[in-house]
Every structure is written in C-alpha cells, then in structure tokens.
Structure 1
C-alpha cells in the first residue's frame, strides 16, 4: 500500500474517533484524545512521504501558525522570570508552559499532515462527510444506551458504567473522590454525553457535526435516513442539556434556513429567465 494512501486512512480514522476525548487507557500528554493516536501515526508516515518526495508544502494556514508559534516562544523567553516558581491550580508554571509549547508543536504537525492529505484528495467534502457520518453512527449507539439509562433501564445503566470505565478518564476521578451512586453522572444518567467526558464537550461536538449532517441531507444523500440522522442529533443535543449546543444549533438552523431560502429564490429566478428565453425570445 502506498504511503499516501496510509496518510489518508489515518486522517479518515482521526475524523471518526474525534469525539473520544477522554480515553482511560493511555494517560500521557494529550493522548487521552483518541484522534491523537492516528494523527501521530499519520504524521510519521507524512514525514516519510516528504523525505521520499524531497519537498514540503506550506500553505497560508501553516505560515500563520508558524508565526504564532514563534511569537509564543518569544513571549515565554521575555516572561521567563515571572514563570519560574509560579503555581496555577496545583501545577507549576514551568510544567504548564512546557505542555503548552509541546501542544502548539503538535498542532503545527497536525496542520502540516492534514494539509498534505486534504490538498491532494479529490471530492474532499464528500470524503469528510462520510467519515463524519460513521462517527455519528458510533456516537448514536452510545447515546441510545444512555437514553435508555435515563429511562431507568438497569441493563443500560450497567452497560454505560462499564463503557465509561474505558472511555472516560473522569470515571477514576469520581471513584477516588468517593461516589454517590444516586447522584454521580456515571451511575445515575441524567444527561447524554455520548463518548465525551462531559455534556458540554459533547454539545460542542454536536455543534460541529450538525452543519455536515444538514449538508448531507440537502446535497449528498437526500433521503429519509439522512433526515433521521439530523433529527437524532437534535434529540441528543436537547437531552445533553448543553446550553452551548442549544444556542449554536439554533443559530446554525437559522443560517441554513436563510441560505436555503436564498438558494430557492435564486433557483426560481434562473428558472424564470430560462423559461422566458425558451418561450418568448426564440420566437423573435
């Protein structure tokens, strides 16, 4: 298999597993975010590709991020006296600065890798939509289990608890602090959180997914299944009780309705011109 194809597979998988933001398996740096695994593998393969091809592409986004990265390094050096010895939320300032710089470098690597794949990919919007749709199918399975748990179905509650041990690092934190089985969110399901650590991050992810699913329902698939997916997402957003999801999805709906109305008017306008041309102009 070609290296370029492997980079595409890694990016495709990164999009699919993006909602898993608290994997309780590897506790190193930011690798509780599942997409970091496939992104790291993809970046290594990307390095092999550019070594083989002996060229690298820097888009505008990469150049802007490089400037931002350099500015952060300079700002750190200028403020080094204020940083050394500082403590914030029980973490040393030196550690937080180091983590921030490494995180910025990781994002730079990610942009280079993503840019390399997406610039070469044909029908990139459709390709991303397919990955997002698969991701939502996974989310839907977990969310339905939690929905059944909200209905006090014990099997669903037990299954969700078992799942949370693996996909949510906050589970162990709840155990260490001493849990109240009647109140703790892992055992008494009161909000849908999908595969995220909490409802707010789940709401953020649903906000990102919604325009893509709407796009699929209007332009790509245009069938009942795509409409059902959009409706399911709205139901999950409502039951997550995330104010972020409420506000953003409502605004996205308004934008979609506005654009659709504008598109329909434009389509009708061109249809009238064509009709006039065919029926009147050609006669003369």
Structure 2
C-alpha cells in the first residue's frame, strides 16, 4: 500500500488539529450547560457559519413535533427545537475554514461551481464536528444548523446521539404542504397558500432549496389526491427538483396543473 502523499499527510494533520480544538470546545460548553441548572436541556444545537465559527447552545425539543393539520391551526408558531434566548453563547473559530470560504468560486461568475465548492466545504465542517463529538455521551443528541436557519426538523443535520425524531405522516393537505414549505426554507403562514374554503387550492414551492429527497415522506401517503381534494395548481419554478419527481406528482395528482421549471 503506497505511503500517503505529503499533501494528504498535511491535510490529515490539519483535520486532527481542528477536531481537537472543536472537541475541547464542545466538552467545555457541555460542562457549562450542565452547571447552569437549566429548566430543560436535552440536546445541543450547533450553528455552523461561513466564517469558520461553530456556536453551540443548549437546546430542547418542542413537543409534539408536528405541523398544523387544518387552516384553523395555521396561526401557531411551528418550531421543533428551542434554546434559552438569554444564553451567552461562545464560539469556536477555525480560521482555515474562513480562508477556504473566501477562496470559493465567485457566485456572480459561476453559481454552480460556487454551490458545489460551498457544499464540499460544509461537508468537511460537518465531518470535523462529528469527529469532535465522537467521545460524547451516546445519549447526548447534537444537531447542526447552517448559519441562523430556523429550528425546523427538515433543516436539522444529525451529528451525534439519538436520531432526529421522525415526523408523523401528514393527515391533511395543510400538514403536507406546511412540511414542504419548511423543506423549501419558507415560513408557514395562511397567506402562503391559495384556499378553497378549508382546503389548499394553490401552492408555490418555487426556489432552489427543495430537493428530490424532500418528497420521500410524500410517497408514504396512501392516496395523495384524496388528501388534497381542492388542489388545482402547484408551482415549482427555478427548482432543483427533477422530472422524476414531477412525473410522479402528476401521476399521483391527476387533474392538478403542475408548473415546473429548473434552475438556469
């Protein structure tokens, strides 16, 4: 078996340093959380920033973790996790990640190249975070969120400990499309939909955040057309959702106009 190249050895050495630094930070913060006598603390939320900073805060689950099932329930706030608002968070910064971020392709010149490089860098950060958490109590759940994303299950990234809770299968059109809005990084509100009395008639899921995998839970619904009796129009413009999903939606929702365009 060939010896690792000098570049590979340097890369592994760098990663070990990053892991050690982040591991020490996590252990220190967990001790601080534990000593704070918080009313509820059953998970750790880690914000991962472009600048190379990681910010860990004590968190807890908001139960029940579900979506509104009817138009009447649309007014309630839908978050799945929470953390103390007054908590004085401390960060761990890895300067190399900041340097790597500023070396990414210019998004104004090549958006697809920037996106790929950004995702590769994010994967590296998450890999380092997972390694830094390997020695933590296996019962201690650690979830990551990119930047200041809302604390919604579809946006949570599992890092350590018990898996992310499985949401119940939707029992209404409101629950189904509310969840897809979250997958699309959009807030849930009554005005987000066009209505026919108590059922959704029109919905837009346009934008680049929705992916094919976000529809996996949709296929578990026994009869999608029955669940969405008033749906007439579904729009997904500038989307990264592929024709494979669009074709399946058209089969499952006969009579519904599905407007779809992909990103340029």
Same fold (TM over 0.5): no
Higher relative contact order (CA 8 A, sep 6+): 1
**TM-score w.r.t. length of structure 1:** 0.28
**TM-score w.r.t. length of structure 2:** 0.29
The structure whose residues are more often helix, as a share, is 1
Larger radius of gyration: 1
